[in-house]
A and B are shown apart, each in its own frame.
Chain A
């Protein structure tokens, strides 16, 4: 089983729709969690951290479910500019420096 798994998509949704995708992780001792965004042929950029209590940043909401070992990202009122690949990131507690990226979920917003 992969340490971090994501549905590769693509998720193809109309502008204005709400879309959500999950990321599961296998190590129950994982320490911290993040969502990154990567545009085509560009470097990844941090979108948001994922806190235990859940957190919101504008149209984006991230949630953590430690019992079921997954994190989620919800995008409301999607814009064309939201089209990108979304990578989830997990940092294992056991390693001083390791960080694990999921393979990403591709999102395409259509007009």
Chain B
């Protein structure tokens, strides 16, 4: 069966510090991978998606970047965090070639930038 791991669960970082969130998927090959951010009481905002190793598409201009160094690994990074980067970050995967609307989410990272 497929599983998705995302860590850490909670993170408190000072403004200006770097960020690295990691997401890995097990039990499937060549998945589509996604990073979302959810502000408190709001919907999910798609940040990045990837259809393969080294292939990253950005949905919105921002202070963040993403990388996919391996087939089942997706990393979200920032060189200098802003207060506005606070939120609930979710990684998700969907079957490559399948319906991308069927997504499976990690447990999320709650980031507070102070």
Question: Which of the residues A87, A90, A91, A98 comes within 8 Å of B44, measured between beta carbons?
Answer: A87
Decide if B49 is an interface residue (CB 8 Å cutoff): yes
A interface, how many residues as a size bin?
Answer: 20 to 34
Pick from B11-19, B65-73, B79-87, B99-107 the stretch touching chain A: B99-107
Name A residues whose Cβ lies closer than 8 Å to a Cβ of B. 31-34, 41-46, 49, 87, 89-91, 96-104
Name B residues whose Cβ lies closer than 8 Å to a Cβ of A. 32, 34, 36, 42-44, 46, 49, 51, 57, 59, 88, 90, 94, 99-108, 110
Question: Which of the residues A41, A42, A49 comes within 8 Å of B102, measured between beta carbons?
Answer: A49
Docked complex Cα distance between A100 and B40 (Å): 18
Docked complex Cα distance between A68 and B99 (Å): 23
**A44, A49, A98, A104: which has the most chain B beta carbons within 10 Å?**
A44
A44–B101 CB distance below 8 A: no
Contacts of B57 in A (CB 8 A): 97
A-B contact pairs, 18 of them (CB 8 A): A31-B101, A32-B101, A34-B101, A41-B88, A42-B107, A43-B90, A43-B107, A45-B105, A46-B102, A46-B103, A49-B99, A91-B100, A91-B101, A96-B51, A97-B57, A98-B46, A103-B43, A104-B43
B6 to chain A, nearest CB (A): 9
5 cross-chain pairs, A with B, having the tightest CB-CB distances, nearest first: A103-B43, A43-B105, A101-B44, A91-B101, A32-B101
Question: Which of the residues A32, A33, A91, A102 comes within 8 Å of B43, measured between beta carbons?
Answer: A102
Docked complex Cα distance between A83 and B43 (Å): 17
A91–B99 CB distance below 8 A: yes
**B43, B49, B110: which has the most chain A beta carbons within 10 Å?**
B43
Docked complex Cα distance between A21 and B44 (Å): 19
Contact status of A43 and B102, CB under 8 A, knowing A96-B51, A97-B32: no
Nearest A residue to B44 by beta-carbon distance?
A101
Question: Which of the residues B90, B101, B106, B110 comes within 8 Å of A89, measured between beta carbons?
Answer: B101
Contacts of A41 in B (CB 8 A): 88, 110
